[in-house]
Structures are given as structure tokens and as C-alpha cells.
């Protein structure tokens, strides 16, 4: 089969890259149309001129390298590992890639240079670098050996190193010591089957800062094929706040679970307490006894209302509770007419746990109710003071009125449901109740402050 003969000149001129033939002294012997377009010169303007005029940089350095090539001619890229630039007719710098091939001609050794315009590739690289730098996450480019090629500002901030300290170093320096032994195996596995995926799926990952502190991180891996081989682009996110939020949520869920069990227990106890109060009222009989039981139950429900308003479900603002309880009782026992009985609440700011607040509230309810009922007969007004303090690990509650006073021995009288209940609740609080009469009545409940 006869093959068509194609002349070197036609192939040379039709090449998709700039082609240039230079003699051993650097004089341009020939060039193609792509080279004319690349540098902005006509062919006849360049023939015979020195190739140094197309090189951006020191012509003396270019001459030295050309002479070195002539002494050891072999096909190779020019300036391997360095950025090369040509000089356009209008003065612009053109990033180029140059391949050198020695040619033996009748007149001696010449050099065939292929010149590729890298402007588009450079623009793409610059856009890539800008995108990496502007990314909200830490971005790091690593080669197959684990050497760091590129980092952005977020990586500097996350790990506490400058990029100059990181470029060229092993990525293992950013890993806690316990991870380093097996990391090369994981890296080899990724490069053997490169695909975008999260790193260490299902495991907790940590990075190591320059100051030695470990940082919980989340890492995404993306393979990137480059002229220098396969690389991996790592997206690294500091998840410290997310981890803390998750731990707080887990703690909160556990707390809520314990709380539900505790509320169930307390609700059961409160229902038993209410049942006991109703039993007391049933023994006394009559609508008045039922009304008093209702007020006692209201004092319990008020504790729960204040508890839910506080949002802690463990302790209540007792000063706020006493003010609300006092207002509730005052309204229930208010009189129509001029002889008003007023209530003043003087309470220091402190809180009490639920198990203490309920019996304490019941005691205050009994003492205030008794004061409104018995200290001021019809036609007589007056004032009641409710005072509460918390000092030196003890709670002191005083109910003082300027009424007619208690009869001698009334505090020890058997069969008085309210006073029996006060004494029983005081014992539950591990405290004591003291009565003082004339003028008016002063009753003090004193008990140790609970630790929870």
C-alpha cells in the first residue's frame, strides 16, 4: 500500500502549536503560522533575528542555557520546574511551555522548539487558586506521597501555621500521633481508587494545631488530575462548635429523661399529699373545710406553675412564689367595707428545690389563712407581714400580724387541723415552728436549706 508523502514544511506550518527552528547561535531559521499569531510578528520580521528577542528575561541567561543544550543535545522540556514567559510584540508577557528537540541538518545542529501558549491554563490556575483562597472551609492540596502542595488562609487559621511553614511538609504533621502510623495506608487506598468521599466515615477525626491542641474536624476528599500527577484536594471543617452542641443536646436529652422520671415520682407524691389533705378536710366536714383544702391544693399547683415558668424544672424563685401566694390568699380573704386587712411581703431573693418549696408553701398558706381568719374579727382592720430570709444555710419565714393575738395554749391545742399540718410539715423540713402572741401574733418557721 502506497502511503501519501507529506512534506515536513506542510506539517511544520500546520502544527497546532508554535514551532520554531533556531541554529546553534540562536538565529531564527524558520517559524510557523501559530508562532506568528502567538508573538504578533510576521514571519519575515523574525527570520534571521535572535530568538532572545522572544524571551522574557535575561538574554545572557538564555544564551548560557542554549549553549548547554548544544553541548548535550537531547529532546527535553525547556526550563523544567520553572515558569517560562515569552515577550509579545506589544510588550505583553506570555506564559509558555517549550519543548526542545535537536535537529541535525546539512549546516549543522539546529533546535526545533515547540511553544505552547499557557495563558488559558494560567488563568484557570489563577481562578482555581482564588476559589481555594476564598473558600469558607480549610482547603489543602496534597500529593500521593503526603506532601502539602497548597493551603488557603482558613488552613492557616485552623492549624496555627503560616503557609510557608506548611508547603512542602508532610500532612502527617497535622495529625495527632495516634493517627500517623496508619495514615499512609489510608492515603494509598485513596490514590488506588480515587473518588470524592468523606474521610474516615463514621469515625471521629482530629487535627493537631501548632500549639499542640487537638481540633475535631470533618474532612472531604476530592481527587484532582494534574500535569504533575494525581493530587487530592481536602476540605477541612472545624466542627468544635457542632460537637459541643451535639454533646449539650445529648446531655439535655439525658437530663430530660431523668427529669421525666423525677416528675413522675413527684407527681405521684403530690397526689398522695393532696389525698391526705382531702382526708383531713373530710374529718372536719363542711363546705369551709373543703374550701381550705382547695386553697392548700392551689398552693401546691402554684409551685408547679412557677417551676415551669422558670424553665429549670428543678428550683423555683421562692420570693416570686411567696408574692404570688400572698396575693392569691389576700384576694381570697379580702373584705367588703372599710376594715381592710392588708398583706405585705418582704422576701430576700433565693430559690428552693421543688421538694422543699411544696411543704414550705403549704406552711405559709396555713399561717396566712389563719391570720386572715382569726386575727381580725369583723369590724377590725390591720396588717399582716410575710417575711422570708436565707442566711448561713438556713431559711427563716415569719408571719406577723397586729391582730387580736392567739389565746393562751392555742398553739398546742389538739384537733386543730391547720396547726397539726404546720407542725407535721415543719418536721418534714427538719425545722421548727415557734409561736409568740401579744400584741398580735408572730409565727416563725426555721429550717435548714436543702442542697438540691
List of E strands, 161-303: 197-198, 205-208, 214-226, 229-238
Using the predicted structure, report yes or no on whether residue 314 has a pLDDT greater than 80: no
pLDDT over threshold 70, residue 281? no
At 119, which helix (H) or strand (E)? helix 119-134
Query: Hey, which bits of 6-147 come out as E strands?
Result: 18-23, 28-31, 76-77, 84-87, 93-105, 108-117, 138-143
Determine the Cα–Cα distance for residues 363 and 447; give it in Å rounded to an integer. 12
97: how many CB neighbours lie within 10 A of its CB? 17
Q: What integer pLDDT is reported at residue 303 of this predicted model?
A: 67
99-109 pLDDT, tens digit per residue, is 999 988 888 89
User: What is the distance in angstroms between the CA of the first residue and the CA of the last residue of the chain?
Assistant: 103
pLDDT (tens digit, 9 = 90+) per residue, 377-435? 888 889 999 999 999 889 999 999 999 888 766 656 554 566 788 888 899 999 999 99
Average pLDDT of the chain, as a whole number: 83
Q: Classify 34 as helix, strand or coil.
A: helix
**Bridge partners, residue 143, by sequence:** 231
Q: What is the pLDDT of residue 63?
A: 83
Query: Which of 63-77, 174-188, 267-281 shows the lowest mean pLDDT across its residues?
Result: 267-281
What are the contacts of 408-413 at 24+ separation with CB within 8 A? 408/437, 411/435
pLDDT at 118 over 80: yes
Please give the pLDDT value at position 121.
86
Contacts of 283 (CB under 8 A, 6+ apart): 417
For the cut 60, the answer to whether the pLDDT of residue 271 exceeds it is no
Nearest-angstrom CA–CA distance, 142 and 445 = 74
Class assignment of domain 122-238?
alpha beta
pLDDT surpassing 80 at residue 202:
no
Classified by CATH at the fold level, domain 243-448 comes out as Heat Shock Protein 90 (3.30.565)
Distance CA 416, CA 419 (A): 6
Question: Looking at residue 174, what DSSP letter applies?
Answer: G
Q: Where are the domains of the chain?
A: 8-117, 122-238, 243-448
Q: What is the mean pLDDT of residues 138-156?
A: 93
Q: Using pLDDT thresholds of 50, 70 and 90, give the confidence band for residue 128.
A: confident
Q: Could you count the other beta carbons within 10 Å of the beta carbon of residue 374?
A: 17
135, 234 Cβ separation under 8 angstroms: no
Q: How many residues does the chain have?
A: 452
Span 169-197, average pLDDT: 88
- Cα(209)–Cα(160) distance, integer angstroms: 6
| Alpha helices per DSSP H over 333-445 | 354-374, 417-428
Give the model's pLDDT for residue 304. 60
As beta bridge partners, residue 55 has: 86
What CATH class is the domain 8-117?
alpha beta
- Axis crossing angle, helix 417-428 with helix 354-374, rounded to the nearest 10: 150
Backbone phi and psi for residue 437, each to the nearest 5 degrees, phi listed first: -125, 160
pLDDT over 70 percentage in the chain:
81
pLDDT (average), residues 297-310? 65
A 10 A CB-CB count for 21 gives 19
Q: Which of 268, 328, 320 is nearest to 296 (CA)?
A: 328
pLDDT at residue 291, rounded to an integer: 61
From residue 370, alpha-carbon distances to 26, 208, 268, 359, 400 in Å are: 119, 69, 28, 17, 11
User: What cell does 59 get?
Assistant: 538574554
Q: Is-same-fold flag (8-117; 243-448)?
A: no
Q: E-strand spans in 133-228?
A: 138-143, 148-151, 197-198, 205-208, 214-226
What does the alpha-carbon distance between residue 98 and residue 77 come to, in Å, rounded to a whole number? Answer: 6
Amino acid at each position: 500500500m502506497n502511503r501519501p508523502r507529506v512534506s515536513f514544511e506542510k506539517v511544520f506550518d500546520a502544527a497546532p502549536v508554535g514551532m520554531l527552528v533556531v541554529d546553534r547561535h540562536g538565529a531564527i531559521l524558520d517559524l510557523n503560522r501559530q508562532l506568528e499569531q502567538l508573538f504578533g510578528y510576521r514571519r519575515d520580521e523574525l527570520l534571521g533575528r535572535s530568538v532572545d528577542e522572544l524571551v522574557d528575561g535575561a538574554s545572557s541567561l538564555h544564551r548560557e542555557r542554549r549553549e548547554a543544550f548544544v553541548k548535550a543535545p537531547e529532546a527535553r522540556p525547556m526550563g523544567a520546574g520553572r515558569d517560562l514567559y515569552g515577550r509579545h510584540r506589544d510588550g505583553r508577557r506570555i506564559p509558555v511551555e517549550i519543548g526542545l528537540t535537536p535537529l541535525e541538518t546539512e549546516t549543522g545542529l539546529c533546535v526545533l522548539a515547540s511553544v505552547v501558549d499557557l495563558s488559558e491554563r494560567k488563568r484557570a490556575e489563577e481562578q482555581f487558586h482564588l476559589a481555594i483562597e476564598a473558600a469558607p472551609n480549610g482547603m489543602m492540596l496534597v500529593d500521593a506521597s503526603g506532601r502539602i502542595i497548597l493551603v488557603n488562609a482558613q488552613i492557616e487559621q485552623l492549624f496555627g501555621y503560616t503557609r510557608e511553614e506548611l508547603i512542602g511538609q508532610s500532612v502527617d504533621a497535622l495529625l495527632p500521633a495516634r493517627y500517623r502510623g496508619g495514615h499512609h495506608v489510608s492515603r494509598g487506598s485513596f490514590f488506588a481508587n480515587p473518588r470524592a468521599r468523606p474521610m474516615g466515615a463514621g469515625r471521629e477525626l482530629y487535627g493537631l494545631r501548632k500549639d499542640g491542641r487537638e481540633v475535631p474536624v470533618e474532612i472531604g476528599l476530592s481527587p484532582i488530575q494534574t500535569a504533575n500527577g494525581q493530587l487530592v484536594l481536602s476540605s477541612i471543617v472545624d466542627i468544635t462548635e457542632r460537637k459541643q452542641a451535639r454533646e449539650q443536646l445529648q446531655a439535655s436529652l439525658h437530663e430530660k429523661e431523668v427529669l421525666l422520671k423525677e416528675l413522675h415520682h413527684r407527681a405521684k407524691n403530690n397526689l398522695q399529699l393532696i389525698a391526705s389533705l382531702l382526708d383531713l378536710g373530710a374529718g372536719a366536714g363542711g363546705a369551709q373545710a373543703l374550701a381550705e383544702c382547695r386553697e392548700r391544693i392551689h398552693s401546691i399547683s402554684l409551685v408547679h406553675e412557677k417551676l415551669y415558668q422558670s424553665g429549670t424544672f428543678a428550683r423555683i424563685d421562692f420570693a416570686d412564689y411567696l408574692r404570688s401566694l400572698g396575693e392569691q390568699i389576700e384576694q381570697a380573704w379580702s373584705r367588703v367595707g372599710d376594715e381592710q386587712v392588708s398583706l405585705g411581703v418582704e422576701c430576700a431573693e433565693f430559690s428552693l428545690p421543688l421538694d422543699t418549696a411544696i411543704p414550705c408553701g403549704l406552711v405559709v398558706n396555713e399561717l396566712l389563712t389563719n391570720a386572715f381568719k382569726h386575727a381580725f374579727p369583723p369590724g377590725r382592720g390591720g396588717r399582716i407581714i410575710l417575711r422570708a430570709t436565707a442566711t448561713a444555710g438556713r431559711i427563716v419565714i415569719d408571719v406577723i400580724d397586729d391582730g387580736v393575738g392567739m389565746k393562751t395554749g392555742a398553739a398546742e391545742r389538739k384537733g386543730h387541723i391547720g396547726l397539726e399540718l404546720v407542725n407535721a410539715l415543719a418536721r418534714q423540713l427538719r425545722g421548727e415552728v415557734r409561736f409568740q402572741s401579744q400584741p398580735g401574733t408572730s409565727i416563725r418557721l426555721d429550717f435548714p436549706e436543702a442542697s438540691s
